Chain A
Amino acid sequence: MMELNWVAGNHCIADVNECMRKVQTLKYAEEACYNGALVIKAFSSGLDIGTCNWTISSSKSRIAYLSSSIFYSLHAMSFDYHSLRGNDLVLFSDFSSMMDTDSSGGLCASQSSMTIDSMNLSDENTSEATINALANTNESSDAMDKLAFICSCAVDSVGNGGSVLIPFGRVGIMLQLLEQMFASLESSSLEVPVFIVSSVAEEMLDFTNVVPEWLCKERQEKLYSGEALFGHAKQIKAKKLHLFPAIHSADLVKMWREPCIVFTPHWSLRLGPVVHLLQRWCQDPNSLLVMEHGTGAELALLPFSPMAMKVLRCSFLSGIMMQELQPLLDFLQPNVILFPKDLPAAHLSSIGSSFSLHPYSENEIMNVPNTRNDHEIKLDKKLALQLLPRMIGEGPIAIARLRGKLELNHGEHILRSCRESLDSSQSHMQLHWGSLDPNLLEKALQKKGIDGSWSANTGANDGIHVFRIANPSSALIEIHAMYTIISSADETLSSLLVEAVSSVLEGI
């Protein structure tokens, strides 16, 4: 029933709200602590406004979750790879290379007489080793070129009396496209209205202009110099950009004028105002539909075919480029990399062989190889000074009894001294090893003023020594290879004997 409701779209809002209530929001580089043991942090990934990579660290391991990241963005805060450095494990989950099977990125037009050369994204030889070079690849100018190209196509269509329909996917790209579109319209001195039809358009556009902390440096500087973060605010004021919550809004009917440029959801072409507009324009050869590449375009367009409308399919960089991969991983210095099993071989080979690589696949649980066996904990100096280390034999090893209180605070274990004295219940922990030397024991006993003699008859005589004590009272020590038995009727004498035995044995 529940699922049916979901499918039918009923009760969804309540569920979504309820779900969002449970979500704890974080800022970039804010530390969230789970159960005292795990420290979780998010860092900008550069893909879009607010997208992030994660690190999870505990006293035993540090993991970085690397999602689709873009080194240099024209709108969102750029990829903060510095903060991902020094993790033991990188969980590589940038699937962008697996999404498009043909050339990684580029523009292509189809189903129209218009042919557009695919613009190849990859710069010929950018496999520079240094990390600085990574950020300087011409990702941004490339993206700008693409935007300019889309705009010029749009301007052409509008100039021919056709309308342009842009079902948007990524918010950041849409905002940039808006800016670019107005620039193009202005330069070609065309006066066509631009509409955004979406129930959240207004809120979203307002919001994007008040979140400088999520944006790239250039846009932050804009705020500082008193400009709006994105250009759309100006256009709304100038009444060049019109926002409507729905296609049936009364104002929309009043304002509607064709040709026009419309941004509206949904990129699947199955939901929202885009369906109606597409019906209206699909037979107009002058109109243009701008689609994102790799969304199953043929299938999406099927209900509207045969179409006379031009379709421009574009793709934007949506992850780490192949040639960036190795320098990035070299910089991050993980011990172990987990990668998707279906990662293209070319990508895999570009990761390099200096890491321990482990493939993961869907619906399969894998055991993450341990990179560290031990926890890293802190020992309070006060406690460290209380330690009484003793050397073991001649070797370089010394051992000391450790007694304290272990605190787990914000992903860090700290061992502190506790008030209880060291003596209480010490015997509880006593540990001895090695074999007991009868001669040394005899000397130790003599020192304590305990007299006795070795029993001549030691039964089976298989390495068992029995020492009979006569003074101060009768008692017996039976030494076996790996254990010693003390027998005495008197508790005091017995503990003296234990002391003597302990002093001869290696122990702690």
Chain B
Amino acid sequence: MSGPTLSLGAGQEVGKSCVVVSIGGKRIMFDCGLHMGHNDHRRYPDFSRISKSGDFDSALTCVVITHFHLDHIGALVYFTEVCGYNGPIYMTILQPNVWTLFTLLSMAKLCSSLSEKKPYLQYPTKALAPLMLEDSRKLMEEEQFSNDQIKNCMKKVTAVDLKQTVQVDDELQIRAYYAGHFYYALERWKYLSPILVLELSEVMKLTRIKNNPFAKAGAHPIFKLLRLFPVGIAKNTISEVLGAAMFYAKVGDSAIVYTGDYNMTPDRHLGAAQIDPLELDLLITDISDGSVTFYAVLQNDSFMGYTAVLNNGSFMGFAYKELCMLMDDYWERMNLKVPIYFSAVSEFDRSFINASGPCVLFASPGMISGGFSLEVFKQWAPSRKESYCTSGIMEAYAVMAVIVKYSMIFRYCVAGTVGHQLKSDKSTRVHVDKETQVDVRCQIHHLSFSPHTDEKGIMDLIKFLSPKHVMLVHGELPKMVKLKEKIESDLGIKCCYPANNSTVEIASTQSVKINATDSFVQKCLRPNFELSNTVTVSNSDSSSQQCNAALLRRTEGSRVAEGILVMDKTKRAKAVDRDELLPLLGADEHLIGFAYCCPVSLSSSENAQPRKSPTELSNSTPLEEPQHHSHSGSLIHQLFLRLSSKLESEVNIQEFSDRLELESLRVSICSNSNCPYRIESCSEGKSVIFLCCSWSLADEELGWRVIAILRDSDFSTTAFSVN
């Protein structure tokens, strides 16, 4: 059994992803996230649901973290250091492309070259997690845990590589899959960008390394980025989410996948999520906005920026590299000279804020929950002429917003943030904090991803994996309801979306291990040519089928496997082929066969020979023998023609001088008047010849069909005379 799946967070809401799955007796916690919209106990998942006594080590087999966003990892330190979980924790190690190599290289150098830098970097998720946690710690009013606790927590983390099959214990296997490429910015990374510039030569070198995707794709986006930001201003804090993974877990026959955030659409440079076709009982999928492609939206964004700039305004957007790229394209094409600024809190020259003329500013955080984006927001929002556009993706608690005057673009913003107020109220007055209110006179645009694009990625993944059940997490209720309907109607897969702290039971595949003999397996897997319409084609078919099979990961026996299962109390059950059973049992086969001497009427009386009674025939002189044979031969031939036409090409009829053979059926002219199988006495006077038929039980049906044809037949005797 997959057993009960307990959703501790992200159930019908966005924030604090945390799902505990019981699978084959093991218990895995997927993600351990923090809810940024709350400041009380609701911020953390309710861990007491896992274990009342607080003995989490025995209650959980392991914790798996998909990526380092706070709503996926934020509560981890709390869980390990405050709640006292000491069991294994898994995070990803590296992404399979040079971009990661490059980034790691930069980061490694970054750390060694910035003397005061903390030893934070190991593997993407593991490396970035402490930075994130540290940030979140600072944001909180009362500190729940210390920096030392963060480090201590990270020591318990095991880094795993993508696709590496990790044996957590004897039964539980986990495997990470690339979750696609999405973007993220981290304030702490403000140190990164000057290094990026410095290390450009390193990038160039790495582009020569084999399998480098950029060698094919042309210039790496980073080059463009670097062109975009003069070194003096380049204090940007953008980067991708590195090492985000979907996790596969398997115990015995039960298998599940937990996605975390993922992106099913490749962007211009790097790939989409990649996963093998797996046999799954349950797919737990994240349906948050942040996980989906925003390429189309980005097009839109850069257009907004463009319009804003044309109107002498400034643009505040969010810091996606792709957006930068697109804007750069626009700037180039339109020959714009308007500056684009990237900022981090501390190192930005603030004088531009009040400078005249349009500009584009990327600032963080994206939800305007504080920091620089809020600072700029306060200044720019009341202005009628200029307006702002902020946006952020839902999980981007520390993501920069990009500010452009004139438009305000929103994505999802967590409740309680300024971004959320702007989005939901469309109000002209925003409460920044208890004391401060800001009049908003600028235009506000809220860009939501088109639901179609949203759903497409999710639906694609579900369709590809075709699990037995789907569980939706990390999304808003209306969206879940809609998606559930779609999944159930379009794909026919059962779907649920449990609320927080509720438990769902999902039945899983179960199987019994048995042994099987070679010939059983061989016969089961051999393609069944008997099913193909024409016998002649089967040979060429077989070769092509074998070729195809070689290419397929999954081979299916094209026919129903038949065999016998032998169960011995002392041994494992064993599947054998039919032919292997009797030797195994030490018994001899007892065949059941049919025999029937079938009377066939002859219509013409002109020819004497066939009219002869069988007695006469058997008593005929040796001289007559050859003649008789020729006649019987012709009768056999006529029979052959008749059966051939009636049975068409279903069976292969073989013609011999004295008999016909079809499968096990033998038909011959019976010359024995005392034939024991001559069951019916025939009426005298009718000219009759007897055909002795015998066939096996396997061909029971065929036998009777042939008998029926024989009985219906009216053999013309002229045929005999002619021959």
Residues of A that sit less than 8 Å from B by CB: 20, 25, 27-31, 33, 35-37, 41, 59-60, 83, 202-203, 206-207, 209-213, 220, 223-229, 233-234, 373-381, 384, 387, 389, 392, 396-410, 413-415, 418, 420, 427-436, 466, 474-476, 478, 482-489, 491, 494-495, 498, 501-502, 505-508
Measured in the bound complex, the distance between the Cα atoms of B513 and A31 in whole Å is: 22
Measured in the bound complex, the distance between the Cα atoms of B245 and A179 in whole Å is: 35
For residue B110, which residue of chain A has the nearest CB?
A226
* Contact present for B205 and A29 (CB under 8 Å): no
Which residues in A have their C-beta under 8 angstroms from that of B516? 59, 374-377, 413, 415
For residue A392, which residue of chain B has the nearest CB?
B585
User: 24 A-B residue contacts at CB 8 Å?
Assistant: A27-B164, A29-B161, A206-B105, A207-B101, A210-B102, A211-B101, A212-B93, A224-B127, A226-B119, A227-B112, A377-B516, A378-B512, A380-B511, A403-B562, A405-B560, A415-B561, A429-B578, A476-B677, A483-B592, A484-B593, A485-B694, A495-B700, A498-B700, A506-B590
Supposing A27-B162, A387-B565, A433-B582 touch, asked if A36 and B553 sit within 8 A by C-beta, the answer is yes
For residue A389, which residue of chain B has the nearest CB?
B567
> Which one of A209, A380, A384, A488 contacts B596 once the chains associate, using CB atoms below 8 Å?
A488
Q: Please name the 9 residue pairs, one residue from A and one from B, whose CB atoms are nearest each other, closest first.
A: A226-B111, A224-B122, A374-B515, A225-B119, A406-B524, A433-B587, A483-B591, A378-B511, A381-B510
> Which one of B514, B570, B697 contacts A396 once the chains associate, using CB atoms below 8 Å?
B570
* Contact present for A427 and B560 (CB under 8 Å): no
Total cross-chain contacts (CB, 8 A)? 297
Which residues in B have their C-beta under 8 angstroms from that of A225? 119
* Contact present for A212 and B122 (CB under 8 Å): yes
Which residues in A have their C-beta under 8 angstroms from that of B555? 35-37, 407-408
Known: A59-B521, A484-B592, A495-B700. 10 other contacts (CB 8 A): A206-B205, A207-B209, A213-B161, A227-B111, A398-B566, A403-B560, A408-B555, A427-B701, A431-B564, A498-B700
> Which one of B127, B512, B591, B679 contacts A487 once the chains associate, using CB atoms below 8 Å?
B679
* Contact present for A375 and B518 (CB under 8 Å): yes
For residue A469, which residue of chain B has the nearest CB?
B679
* Contact present for A35 and B549 (CB under 8 Å): yes
Which residues in B have their C-beta under 8 angstroms from that of A60? 518
B94 interface residue (CB < 8 Å to A): yes
In the assembled complex, the CB of A66 is this many whole angstroms from the nearest CB of chain B, namely 19
Most buried by A among B112, B126, B596, B597: B596
* Contact present for B515 and A399 (CB under 8 Å): no
Interface string of B255-283 (1 = CB under 8 A from A): 00000000000000000000000010000
Which residues in B have their C-beta under 8 angstroms from that of A436? 590
Which residues in A have their C-beta under 8 angstroms from that of B549? 35
B447 interface residue (CB < 8 Å to A): no
B401 interface residue (CB < 8 Å to A): no
* Contact present for A384 and B206 (CB under 8 Å): no
> Which one of A213, A400, A487 contacts B564 once the chains associate, using CB atoms below 8 Å?
A400
* Contact present for A399 and B565 (CB under 8 Å): yes
Supposing A405-B557, A410-B553 touch, asked if A466 and B127 sit within 8 A by C-beta, the answer is no
* Contact present for A41 and B553 (CB under 8 Å): no
For residue A494, which residue of chain B has the nearest CB?
B594
* Contact present for A487 and B676 (CB under 8 Å): yes
For residue A502, which residue of chain B has the nearest CB?
B592
Q: Chain A binding site: helix, strand, loop or mixed by DSSP? A: mixed
Supposing A397-B567, A413-B516 touch, asked if A381 and B509 sit within 8 A by C-beta, the answer is yes
Which residues in B have their C-beta under 8 angstroms from that of A83? 167
Which residues in A have their C-beta under 8 angstroms from that of B104? 210, 212, 223
> Which one of A203, A430, A495 contacts B209 once the chains associate, using CB atoms below 8 Å?
A203
Which residues in A have their C-beta under 8 angstroms from that of B210? 20
Give the contacts of B195-254 with A (CB-CB under 8 A): 202, 205-206, 208-211, 253
Supposing A408-B555, A484-B591 touch, asked if A400 and B700 sit within 8 A by C-beta, the answer is no
In the assembled complex, the CB of B632 is this many whole angstroms from the nearest CB of chain A, namely 22
Supposing A27-B162, A224-B127, A381-B512 touch, asked if A485 and B567 sit within 8 A by C-beta, the answer is no
Which residues in B have their C-beta under 8 angstroms from that of A33? 553
For residue B575, which residue of chain A has the nearest CB?
A402
Which residues in A have their C-beta under 8 angstroms from that of B159? 220
Measured in the bound complex, the distance between the Cα atoms of B93 and A246 in whole Å is: 36
In the assembled complex, the CB of A258 is this many whole angstroms from the nearest CB of chain B, namely 29
Interface string of B99-117 (1 = CB under 8 A from A): 0011011001101100001
Measured in the bound complex, the distance between the Cα atoms of B528 and A418 in whole Å is: 16
> Which one of A203, A397, A427 contacts B697 once the chains associate, using CB atoms below 8 Å?
A427
Which residues in B have their C-beta under 8 angstroms from that of A406? 521, 524-525, 556-557, 561
In the assembled complex, the CB of A113 is this many whole angstroms from the nearest CB of chain B, namely 44
Which residues in A have their C-beta under 8 angstroms from that of B509? 380-381
How many B residues face the partner with a CB closer than 8 A? 98
* Contact present for B593 and A485 (CB under 8 Å): yes
In the assembled complex, the CB of B512 is this many whole angstroms from the nearest CB of chain A, namely 5
> Which one of A25, A31, A486, A495 contacts B593 once the chains associate, using CB atoms below 8 Å?
A486
In the assembled complex, the CB of B552 is this many whole angstroms from the nearest CB of chain A, namely 6
For residue B165, which residue of chain A has the nearest CB?
A29
Measured in the bound complex, the distance between the Cα atoms of B560 and A37 in whole Å is: 19
> Which one of A31, A36, A209, A475 contacts B105 once the chains associate, using CB atoms below 8 Å?
A209
Which residues in A have their C-beta under 8 angstroms from that of B499? none
Measured in the bound complex, the distance between the Cα atoms of B120 and A229 in whole Å is: 15
For residue B693, which residue of chain A has the nearest CB?
A487
> Which one of B521, B525, B564 contacts A402 once the chains associate, using CB atoms below 8 Å?
B564
Which residues in B have their C-beta under 8 angstroms from that of A486? 592-595
Measured in the bound complex, the distance between the Cα atoms of B696 and A498 in whole Å is: 11
In the assembled complex, the CB of A212 is this many whole angstroms from the nearest CB of chain B, namely 7
In the assembled complex, the CB of B579 is this many whole angstroms from the nearest CB of chain A, namely 9
> Which one of A210, A399, A408, A485 contacts B581 once the chains associate, using CB atoms below 8 Å?
A399
* Contact present for B679 and A224 (CB under 8 Å): no
Which residues in A have their C-beta under 8 angstroms from that of B202? 206
Which residues in B have their C-beta under 8 angstroms from that of A209? 105, 108
* Contact present for A413 and B521 (CB under 8 Å): yes
Supposing A229-B108, A377-B521, A428-B698 touch, asked if A414 and B679 sit within 8 A by C-beta, the answer is no
Which residues in B have their C-beta under 8 angstroms from that of A399? 564-567, 581
* Contact present for B676 and A466 (CB under 8 Å): yes
Which residues in A have their C-beta under 8 angstroms from that of B582? 431, 433
For residue B599, which residue of chain A has the nearest CB?
A489
Measured in the bound complex, the distance between the Cα atoms of B210 and A226 in whole Å is: 26
B341 interface residue (CB < 8 Å to A): no
* Contact present for B561 and A397 (CB under 8 Å): no
For residue B163, which residue of chain A has the nearest CB?
A30
Measured in the bound complex, the distance between the Cα atoms of B550 and A209 in whole Å is: 39
Which residues in B have their C-beta under 8 angstroms from that of A207? 101, 209
B602 interface residue (CB < 8 Å to A): no
Give the contacts of B543-578 with A (CB-CB under 8 A): 549-550, 552-557, 560-570, 573-575, 578
> Which one of A25, A212, A482 contacts B94 once the chains associate, using CB atoms below 8 Å?
A212
* Contact present for B590 and A485 (CB under 8 Å): no
Measured in the bound complex, the distance between the Cα atoms of B211 and A396 in whole Å is: 60
Supposing A203-B208, A397-B568, A420-B560 touch, asked if A433 and B589 sit within 8 A by C-beta, the answer is yes
Which residues in A have their C-beta under 8 angstroms from that of B514? 376-379, 415
In the assembled complex, the CB of A468 is this many whole angstroms from the nearest CB of chain B, namely 10
B352 interface residue (CB < 8 Å to A): no
B336 interface residue (CB < 8 Å to A): no
For residue A487, which residue of chain B has the nearest CB?
B677
* Contact present for B700 and A427 (CB under 8 Å): yes
B40 interface residue (CB < 8 Å to A): no
* Contact present for A433 and B94 (CB under 8 Å): no
Which residues in A have their C-beta under 8 angstroms from that of B680? 474, 489
* Contact present for A432 and B121 (CB under 8 Å): no
* Contact present for B567 and A482 (CB under 8 Å): no
Measured in the bound complex, the distance between the Cα atoms of B165 and A418 in whole Å is: 31
Which residues in A have their C-beta under 8 angstroms from that of B697? 427, 430, 498
* Contact present for B511 and A414 (CB under 8 Å): yes
For residue B98, which residue of chain A has the nearest CB?
A210
* Contact present for B121 and A223 (CB under 8 Å): yes
Which residues in A have their C-beta under 8 angstroms from that of B112? 226-228, 233-234
> Which one of A30, A430, A501, A507 contacts B165 once the chains associate, using CB atoms below 8 Å?
A30
